[in-house]
Chain A
């Protein structure tokens, strides 16, 4: 269990370093960097490489934004197995729904509770 925390720290930290290098060295804007990381996550899952990383690093792989792309592909493939090619569209948000719904719900609650500063 402690090893899991360690690997979550290392892998999650390294993914953030990749993001920081894209900021500083390639000079991408945060928007471009996030989009690129999501696309990378989707492609990695296409080759079946993200799942082993998640088994290995736990939250180190599920917390960075790359896992968003991964779980989109995952949902699509799951549904595609059952319903064929149409499942690619219908299953896309199957796995990711918690992230998006949480973002929407908490953002609205936040807008109700908090006021902008300055």
Chain B
């Protein structure tokens, strides 16, 4: 599909748009994202140690219950409307950790509740997170397939 050529007016408009577009405060955003994201990961580390010391998980296996716990926290924060504010304030800092993934699932579920549990909650739950699962699974499939073929059949 070729891009449509812009008419003279559209070009003019794009120029005006560029002039008036708000400059994004990149540095400020990055610092906030670093601090918030880092803090979330530090909380995750504390939860990891909690599982290692009290439930006999090892460092390798403790990441599974940690992720589940973080998503539980994100359910509470989303439900009370705190995560939305955090997201506006910190951008990627709260979106990139797994809590952001949980937030996108949970907020979609809560938002569509009025449409009923089957057609609303069930159908819309993965509206935002579905793309992450799709591309995650497909890329993992390709990577694992290539690696398995290389290791088992070619013998590298």
A111 and B38 within 8 A (CB): no
B97 and A110 within 8 A (CB): no
Interface residues on B, range: 35 or more
Pick the contact of B141: A35, A68, A89 (CB < 8 A).
A89
Residue of A nearest to B68 (CB): A102
CB distance from B125 to the nearest CB of A (A): 6
A107 and B33 within 8 A (CB): no
Please classify the interface of chain A as helix (H, G, I), strand (E, B), loop, or mixed, using the class held by over half of its residues.
Answer: helix
User: Is B132 interfacial (CB-CB < 8 Å)?
Assistant: yes
CB distance from A4 to the nearest CB of B (A): 6
If A85-B152, A110-B78 touch, whether A16 touches B133 (CB-CB below 8 Å) is no
B101 and A116 within 8 A (CB): no
Residue of A nearest to B42 (CB): A9
CB distance from A47 to the nearest CB of B (A): 9
B148 and A77 within 8 A (CB): yes
Interface residues of chain B, those whose CB is within 8 Å of chain A, are 24, 26, 29-30, 33-42, 44-49, 59, 63-68, 70-72, 74-75, 78-81, 91-93, 95-102, 105-106, 108-111, 113-114, 117, 121, 125, 128-129, 131-137, 139-141, 143-149, 152
